[in-house]
Amino acid sequence: MQAFQFKMGGQLLTIGIPTVRECDGIFSPVNGYEQIKGAESYLTRNIEGVSVRDKLSATDILSLVVRLGAWLAQIKETSAYKAPPVQSTAQIVNPYNCTTTHIKAVAEYARMSFQEVWELPITDFWKLFRDAIIWNYSRTAEGIDQLEHAKAISATEPDRDKLGSSPAIVRRRKNGK
């Protein structure tokens, strides 16, 4: 299991992966107070016998939130967790912003309740969300085209087989260049 490590009072502490609910409280708060409460809740769950309020100031907690966010962002960028960058082709634009569509997508895909999804470790949620996106798009020919396009635009290495079969390359090889 992956774990987040940080120093508190000169002591190195190792704490577990936050849940979806904890990440929501820490990284999507309404205000700074909610962010600190979310971080306190996460730390208290992970560090038994330590009163976070007594050991850390609000500044310490916010500093830890920044480091935790950077650590989680690094993990999320790996291929196991990163959802494909597909674009919706919906013609109808919803004037409202729904903040739980990602929860609903995972709940439907994994046949879980919202409550169960909220309590998942965030890394498990990211894997399920990635798979839910891929599965939902792969059900139609248009969706598969979008997945192929997403794969092409997110590729970091050229497809040498496709490059080698381009007419220009074939002509060069034929002409000995």
- Do 116 and 167 sit in the same domain of this protein? yes
Number of domains in the chain: 2
- Do 29 and 86 sit in the same domain of this protein? no
Name the residue among 115, 112, 106, 101 with its Cα closest to residue 135: 106
Mean pLDDT of 60-85: 87
Reply yes or no on whether the pLDDT at 1 is more than 60.
no
Task: Give the H or E element holding residue 7.
Answer: strand 4-8
Which residues constitute the domain of residue 146?
80-177
- The CA distance from 82 to 59, in Å, is 31
Q: What is the DSSP letter of 11?
A: E
Q: Last residue of a domain, which of 36, 57, 76?
A: 76
- Do 63 and 88 sit in the same domain of this protein? no
Please state the pTM of the whole predicted model.
Answer: 0.75
pLDDT in tens, 103-128: 999 999 999 999 999 999 999 999 99
pLDDT in tens, 84-96: 887 766 667 778 8
